[in-house]
Structure 1
């Protein structure tokens, strides 16, 4: 776990919602992050997690997705799926949890109804942190494994990016805007790994 000083150094402009205390409380309630493998691997996984949320939440300055024009675009209506009347499932929290089915699954895992009350992720800091940890530990997303598994298996930081936003950012070497996003993620990871005294390893890009 990072110390308060390390957390402050990584997120010097974070908003009050994302407190160090809230992060610690969520870790206690949702164990598993950076808790397996060698000491170096644990430092690398913590660095990877904090780097990814730094990118996703604009260095812990965004509770809600900035692009309001997209707020009503996250309702998937596959068989057995629906959206609560009047609710929107845009990105919220440290990892920008998105889509109705993700809010439903996260809420079930945490024992709360986030499908009916998605804005709780933007109003309860512990819940916000818990959704990020839940996604990291249990969700494959558009990738091939969870971000947690990617670090444990030595697949590298790039594979965690694939699990979080691979459909939009991976396998697009000719897209300069996408490459800038990937470099931003990698830059955050290098910074965090250096702060924790861990080599970043290989396979940084997805």
Structure 2
């Protein structure tokens, strides 16, 4: 999980941010009704992309999570839909070390993600990064749980215990939360703003507008290379890959 200075903003629960450390507006409504899928990679392609993934991250869990967000990869042309799926998986590939990490690697930080400005922490629970998007902080677990109909505030380990829940938290962030940017990643792709804007939403504070010798710049370049790799596999033009 990235270490970003906490901005103490007094907001209601529905105004909290997702994976990042600062609460903010939730821009898109939850879409929790099952639906037919739009474009999605095949299970064989999933295995090709993540050959060394841990067994926890199942393809079936990903598909179940996508059914909770029917507009994901299902809003535009075949090219646009493929580009969104590629962008999502490219960022997940980076965040989770190619699906080889369920929980935050830095265990020394596991007890540092409680800020009760807007949401209390459950007794004995820790809110370190879990899942493909590394969901962190008590208020983020509360908001994700509210959107998904799950009590993640009192049971944060559910994100590391149930594959579909882990994937749902990643899609929830992608579809609904603007993070460091002006728009959620899904909306940025829908408006053809380019891959860089998805990075801004996920980790813009540390990776956008950085000099080439900065670690944040290098991290963003890794994400871009992931995206280009996946678009090649899907035989689709990458479109705008300008860095944020």
TM bracket, shorter-chain basis:
over 0.9
Q: Does residue 146 of structure 1 match 2:184?
A: yes
Deviation at 1:176, TM superposition (A): 2.7
Q: Does residue 166 of structure 1 match 2:225?
A: no
1:73 maps to which of 112, 131, 136: 112
RMSD: 1.2
- State the secondary structure of the residue aligned to 1:29: coil
Deviations 1:123-168 (A, max 9, x none): 0101001111111000111111000011011111110011011112
Consecutive unaligned residues in structure 1, runs of 5 or more: none
- Identify the residue that residue 43 of structure 1 maps to in structure 2: 82
- Identify the residue that residue 64 of structure 2 maps to in structure 1: 25
- Identify the residue that residue 167 of structure 2 maps to in structure 1: 129
CA distance in 2, matches of 1:137, 1:144: 13
Count of aligned positions: 205
Give the structure with the higher percent helix.
Answer: 1
1:120 maps to which of 155, 158, 164: 158
Which portions of structure 1, spanning 4 or more consecutive aligned residues, are displaced by more than 3 angstroms?
Answer: none
- State the secondary structure of the residue aligned to 1:135: helix
- Identify the residue that residue 17 of structure 2 maps to in structure 1: none
- Identify the residue that residue 199 of structure 1 maps to in structure 2: 237
Deviation at 1:113, TM superposition (A): 0.5
- Identify the residue that residue 90 of structure 1 maps to in structure 2: 128
Q: Does residue 12 of structure 1 match 2:60?
A: no
Q: Does residue 178 of structure 1 match 2:232?
A: no
TM-score, normalised via structure 1 length: 0.95
Whether contact under 8 Å (1:142, 1:167) holds in the other structure is: yes
CA distance in 1, matches of 2:124, 2:207: 30
Question: Structure 1 pair 88/183, CA: closer, same or farther in 2 (3 Å)?
Answer: same
Consecutive unaligned residues in structure 2, runs of 5 or more: 1-39
CA distance in 1, matches of 2:193, 2:241: 7
Deviation at 1:175, TM superposition (A): 4.3
Deviations 1:39-63 (A, max 9, x none): 1000000000000000000001100
Deviations 1:60-112 (A, max 9, x none): 1100011112212222232x322112211111101111111111011011111
Whether contact under 8 Å (2:95, 2:134) holds in the other structure is: yes
TM-score, normalised via structure 2 length: 0.81
- State the secondary structure of the residue aligned to 2:243: coil
